[in-house]
Amino acid sequence: MEELTTSKFKKLIAQCRDIFSKKLIDYGTAWRILRIPSLTDQIHIKANRIRGIQEHGKPMINENQQTEFIGIINYSIILLIQLELGVVSQPDMESEKALELYDQKVEKAFELMKRKNHDYGEVWKEMRVVSLTDLIIQKLFRVKSIDTNDGVTLLSEGIDANFLDIINYSIFALIHLGENNTKKTPIDEN
């Protein structure tokens, strides 16, 4: 895997973690009460909003594709934590523990990305952001189907594998969006 991909992944995850950390200060771990279907639906809303921005252009509220992809990453990490620990009826976790678990899930996503990039040759670099968005939405429909089947799969990966992919697809999209922003010319801005 290219060093550049590693450094971009780490830089973007640091931004996501900073937002997660600040929201822990604002809200604590209120997300601990969220069940998997609720988190899946929240991520689905964000992915569909991104798709709407891609299809219709400028959003009417002050959140762009980048903001929504960051939200998808952070909610996906929360979902992975919930899968591991289960849902509670009252927030039960200190911020330090939440950040420790966050880092563990990021490490799993990063290791998966390295393995897949080795096998696929970083083909994601040739993909478009709209394709990555569609893959995220497809993964969400898969998760909903798995959830309908009480989490049982006959041949397919489980819920956790789908959300690790969603995290990595979102990182790839953020990398592409960052590169597209640096390539703009004055003509592009009109």
Nearby residues of 4 by Cβ (< 8 Å), 6 or more positions away: none
List, in order, residues 6 or more apart from 140 with CB less than 8 Å away.
40, 43, 44, 47, 162, 166
SS3 track for the chain: CCHHHHHHHHHHHHHHHHHHHHHHHHHCCHHHHCCHHHHHHHHHHHHHHHHHHHHHCCCCCCCCHHHHHHHHHHHHHHHHHHHHHCCCCCCCCCHHHHHHHHHHHHHHHHHHHHHHHHHHCCHHHHCCHHHHHHHHHHHHHHHHHHHHCCCCCCCCCCHHHHHHHHHHHHHHHHHHHHHHHHCCCCCCCC
Using alpha carbons, select from 69, 72, 100, 64 the residue that is nearest to residue 84.
Answer: 100
Which of 170, 76, 189, 188 has the alpha carbon at shortest distance from 124? 170
Q: Please report the pLDDT score of residue 154 as a whole number.
A: 82
Query: Cα–Cα distances in Å, from 6 out to 99, 132, 180?
Result: 21, 19, 19
Q: Which residues of the chain have pLDDT under 70?
A: 1, 181-190
pLDDT recorded at residue 59: 75
Q: How many CB atoms lie within 10 A of CB 104?
A: 13
pLDDT for 190 equals: 27
Cα angle 64, 143, 69 (rounded to 5 degrees) comes to 15
**CA 14 to centroid of chain Cα atoms:** 13
Q: What is the pLDDT of residue 10?
A: 96
Amino acid at 138: Q
Give the pLDDT confidence score for residue 181 in this predicted structure. 67
